[in-house]
Amino acid sequence: MIGDYIKALEDFDGWLEEENKEEIWGYLSEAREIRRSLPTRIDMEEKEIYELLVPVKDRPGSISQILLKIGSLGINTEDLDLIHKLEKKEGLLRILIKEKDKANRAKDKLEQDGFQVAMRNLELGVS
């Protein structure tokens, strides 16, 4: 098992030395998909978990602006993730909020302030 890890590090080191962008991006993309498949830190048995997806530009303060708007409503963000596309200078902010009412309030506030927001219930997979 440790041998596999060492081999992977040696391979990656070689790609860096060779400046092999294709192999590096492929490896990092695969790692990203594995990270996305891992469970979040919150208790997923909670039936009232809602996911908000918000496109964000790659510029200073864009994420904090969104989180401050949600926080100003007294709504706690249970978890968040940034799905980032370096080549496009933008990303997708994934925000998890407990309770449908709170998620709807956060969505409405963000939309009123000009953000595009998609929302779904993670437990049921419904909008």
At 38, the pLDDT band (50, 70, 90 cuts) reads low
Sorted by sequence, the CB contacts under 8 Å of residue 37 that are 6+ apart come out as: none
Check residue 46 and give its pLDDT.
55
Q: CA angle, 59 as apex, 63 and 119 as ends, to 5°?
A: 35
The pLDDT tens digits for 59-102 are 888 999 999 999 999 999 998 888 877 666 788 899 999 999 99
- The answer to whether the CB of 21 falls within 8 A of the CB of 12 is no
d(CA 93, CA 56): 7
Would you list the domain boundaries of the chain? 2-37, 49-121
Tell me which CATH code domain 49-121 carries: 3.30.2130.10
